[in-house]
């Protein structure tokens, strides 16, 4: 055997050994838990044959508590680059089969290395989290590792899209990396996220709760809003990631890939979807589907704050971010959660050159002590801030109700919307006709022989005069009153003429959004 062959054989043996991860037993255990091994996950996520792994031979550097005798393959994390939809991405996946995917200093160094690559190469970063948490034997070095990761999440924010995939436990400080990234994907019964687990909660506070109810996938999609996408299986989750990335650019200086333009499907009829009576509900997602290519609307955070809908679609092949009040839930009101949800989405779209289309139909802010005490003022301000700050093309279509503070907040002309259109059914007014008539005509109503009849007459009078789009149109607050059937056409031409938009912000280090 030649010397070269010997060397190559040695390389192959070392590689084989490292690729075993935690060994057959640990891998069998992982599979028994319904989870895929780390490299298998990467293979399923990336385009076939595109993955190149780095730092396979990394060794941990713990020298205490007998750790120096332990061999941890790759130190429990897999890093590399590959492609999704033909576009380059950087990826890491924690390997639960190696010391429970626990994070020590070298493990962290591998993650920060691929994060630095992603930033330098200006490509999206995908992190697959499946870890028992800090490697206690490594003490403060493990904490340092987390800190280095969080710091890079923050540096990368707004430069490259960052995606977190929770495919196992992600507990304690570890949760802050996903929280700092743009999109969090979870899988039913597999994902678990919490700061303190059920045992600590029980011992410190005496509250008993199981892991799933505390921080399972459903909880984070429905209740906390920490996660953005819910999947039944790891495969479904990977397919969601691919779909999301198809709408996004590689970085903040790039544009999303264009797709072949297509018409919306005929079954989504915009005119028939929206009832003219402003108190009747409908599913605003069907309005979006009637506007976008192939009626493909990819919704973000569909299970949380359902009274506002956010997500991506394409118009003539180009990515558009949609924000729409959802009359099907809570009459489409704005509240703490819906403002929070929409504001973050706006900031993402703005950072990544994605035009924003706003579909407005809401009666105002949700009344209630719980809302006021939960800080609806501060949360609501996020929406104003995000819309005002955004410099990507911003188009608003007012379908029906645009009352009061909500009218201002939903990308009004006054927050520097580029184009504002209204349907003939739009009611742009300081408040709903009932409330306004009760205040303005209070005296007339009180003094009338039949107050109820007078109230009705005055409401009708107010409705006739003010609950329409023409008062706002007469002031130039909206650009055109349009036939609902022409909505796609109007959005398309607005996007077309906005391609070279250049709207600046005053020079500053950064603003101070109300978060």
Partner 1 sequence: MIMAEVKNKNPEVPEIQEEMHVISEISDAVEFLAPQVGKSKMRLSEGGMEYKTFFTKKFEERKTWKAPDPYKVLSHIPGSVIEIFVKPGQKVKKGDKLMVYEAMKMMNVVTSPMDGTIKEVNAKEGESLPKGALLVTFKKK
Q: What is the binding site for partner 1 (CB under 8 A)?
A: 204-207, 222-223, 230, 232, 267-269, 272-273, 275-276, 279-283, 286, 302-303, 305-307, 327-333, 337, 363-364, 366-370, 373, 403, 431-438
Q: How far is the CB of 280 from partner 1 (least distance, A)?
A: 5
Contact 427, 278 (CB under 8 A): yes
Q: How far is the CB of 235 from partner 1 (least distance, A)?
A: 16
Q: Kindly tell me which of 211 and 303 has the beta carbon lying closer to partner 1.
A: 303
Q: Residue-wise over 436-451: b if at least 16 C-beta within 10 A, else e? A: bbbeebeeebeeeeee
Q: Kindly tell me which of 145 and 332 has the beta carbon lying closer to partner 1.
A: 332
Give dist(CA 303, CA 401) in Å, integer: 24
Give dist(CA 319, CA 477) in Å, integer: 26
DSSP string covering 192-227: EEESS-HHHHHHHH-----HHHHHBHHHIIIII---
Q: How far is the CB of 102 from partner 1 (least distance, A)?
A: 25
Q: Please, which residues bridge with residue 129 across strands?
A: 166
Q: How far is the CB of 152 from partner 1 (least distance, A)?
A: 31
Q: Kindly tell me which of 125 and 190 has the beta carbon lying closer to partner 1.
A: 190
Locate 240 and state its tokens: 């969601």
Q: How far is the CB of 388 from partner 1 (least distance, A)?
A: 26
Picking from 216, 244, 248, the residue whose alpha carbon sits closest to that of residue 232 is: 216
The secondary structure of residue 47, as a DSSP letter, is P
Q: Kindly tell me which of 275 and 375 has the beta carbon lying closer to partner 1.
A: 275
Give dist(CA 89, CA 100) in Å, integer: 26
Q: Kindly tell me which of 104 and 332 has the beta carbon lying closer to partner 1.
A: 332
Report phi then psi at 440, rounded to 5. -65, -40
Q: How far is the CB of 142 from partner 1 (least distance, A)?
A: 22
Q: Kindly tell me which of 4 and 204 has the beta carbon lying closer to partner 1.
A: 204
Q: Kindly tell me which of 391 and 438 has the beta carbon lying closer to partner 1.
A: 438
Picking from 402, 470, 388, the residue whose alpha carbon sits closest to that of residue 430 is: 402
Separation in Å, CA 92 to CA 17, 18, 88, 110, 161: 20, 16, 14, 8, 14
Q: How far is the CB of 34 from partner 1 (least distance, A)?
A: 17
Separation in Å, CA 256 to CA 163, 303, 357, 459: 16, 26, 16, 48
Three-state secondary structure call for residue 41: helix
Q: Kindly tell me which of 246 and 286 has the beta carbon lying closer to partner 1.
A: 286
Q: How far is the CB of 430 from partner 1 (least distance, A)?
A: 11
Picking from 425, 313, 448, the residue whose alpha carbon sits closest to that of residue 360 is: 425
Within 10 Å of residue 378's Cβ, how many Cβ atoms?
Answer: 13
Give dist(CA 354, CA 322) in Å, integer: 10
Q: Kindly tell me which of 221 and 356 has the beta carbon lying closer to partner 1.
A: 221
Largest CA distance in the chain: 112
Positive or negative torsion for Cα 400, 397, 221, 265: positive
Q: How far is the CB of 350 from partner 1 (least distance, A)?
A: 27
Q: Kindly tell me which of 74 and 332 has the beta carbon lying closer to partner 1.
A: 332
Q: How far is the CB of 99 from partner 1 (least distance, A)?
A: 29
Q: How far is the CB of 296 from partner 1 (least distance, A)?
A: 14
Contact 444, 454 (CB under 8 A): yes
Q: Residue-wise over 231-270: b if at least 16 C-beta within 10 A, else e? A: beebeebbebbeebbbbbbbbeeeebbebeeeebeeebeb
Give dist(CA 103, CA 138) in Å, integer: 9
Give dist(CA 332, CA 310) in Å, integer: 13
| Angle at the Cα of 504 from the Cα atoms of 503 and 510, rounded to 5 degrees | 140
Q: Kindly tell me which of 268 and 352 has the beta carbon lying closer to partner 1.
A: 268
Q: How far is the CB of 283 from partner 1 (least distance, A)?
A: 6
Q: How far is the CB of 442 from partner 1 (least distance, A)?
A: 11
Q: Kindly tell me which of 361 and 418 has the beta carbon lying closer to partner 1.
A: 361
Q: Kindly tell me which of 64 and 210 has the beta carbon lying closer to partner 1.
A: 210
Helical packing angle, 433-440 and 451-466, nearest 10°: 120
Contact 504, 444 (CB under 8 A): no
């Amino acid at each position: 055997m030649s010397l070269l062959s010997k060397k190559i054989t040695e390389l192959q043996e070392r590689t084989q050994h490292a690729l075993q991860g935690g060994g057959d037993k640990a891998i069998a255990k992982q599979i028994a838990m319904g989870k895929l091994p780390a490299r298998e996950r990467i293979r399923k996520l990336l385009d076939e044959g595109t993955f190149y792994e780095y730092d396979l031979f990394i060794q941990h550097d713990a020298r205490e508590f007998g750790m120096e005798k332990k061999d941890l393959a790759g130190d429990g994390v897999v890093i590399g680059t590959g492609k999704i939809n033909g576009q380059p991405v950087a990826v890491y996946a924690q390997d639960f089969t190696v010391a429970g995917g626990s994070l020590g200093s070298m493990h962290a160094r591998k993650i920060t290395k691929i994060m630095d690559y992603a930033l330098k190469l200006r490509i999206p970063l995908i992190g697959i989290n499946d870890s028992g948490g800090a490697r206690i034997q490594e003490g403060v070095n493990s904490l340092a590792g987390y800190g280095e990761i969080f710091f890079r999440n923050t540096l990368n924010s707004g430069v490259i899209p960052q995606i977190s995939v929770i495919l196992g436990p992600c507990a304690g400080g570890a949760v802050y990396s996903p929280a700092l990234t743009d999109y969090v994907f979870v899988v039913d019964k597999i994902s678990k996220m919490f700061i303190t687990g059920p045992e600590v909660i029980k011992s410190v506070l005496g509250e008993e709760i199981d892991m799933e109810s505390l921080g399972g996938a459903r909880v984070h999609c429905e209740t906390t809003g920490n996660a953005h996408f819910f999947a039944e299986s790891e495969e479904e989750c990977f397919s969601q990631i691919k779909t999301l990335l198809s709408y996004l650019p590689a970085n903040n200086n790039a544009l999303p890939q264009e797709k072949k333009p297509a018409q919306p499907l005929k079954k989504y009829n915009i005119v028939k979807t929206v009832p003219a009576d402003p108190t009747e509900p409908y599913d605003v997602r069907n309005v979006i589907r009637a506007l976008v290519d192939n009626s493909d609307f990819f919704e973000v955070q569909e299970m949380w704050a359902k009274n506002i809908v956010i997500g991506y679609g394409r118009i003539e092949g180009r990515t558009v971010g949609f924000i729409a009040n959802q009359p099907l839930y809570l009459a489409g009101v704005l509240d703490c959660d819906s403002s929070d949800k929409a504001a973050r989405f706006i900031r993402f779209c703005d950072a990544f050159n994605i035009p924003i289309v706003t579909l407005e139909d809401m009666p105002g802010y949700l009344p209630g002590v719980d809302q006021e005490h939960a800080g609806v003022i501060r949360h609501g301000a996020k929406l104003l801030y995000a819309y005002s700050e955004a410099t990507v093309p911003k188009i608003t279509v007012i379908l029906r109700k645009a009352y009061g503070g909500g009218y201002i907040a939903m990308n009004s002309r006054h927050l520097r919307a580029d184009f504002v259109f209204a349907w003939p059914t739009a009611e742009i007014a300081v408040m709903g006709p009932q409330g306004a008539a009760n205040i303005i005509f209070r005296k007339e109503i009180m003094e009338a022989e039949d107050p109820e009849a007078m109230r009705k007459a005055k409401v009708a009078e107010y409705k006739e005069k003010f609950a329409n789009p023409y008062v706002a149109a007469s002031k130039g607050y909206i650009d055109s009153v349009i036939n609902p059937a022409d909505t796609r056409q109007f959005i398309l031409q607005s996007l077309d003429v906005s391609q070279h938009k250049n709207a600046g912000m005053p020079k500053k280090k950064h603003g101070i959004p109300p978060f």
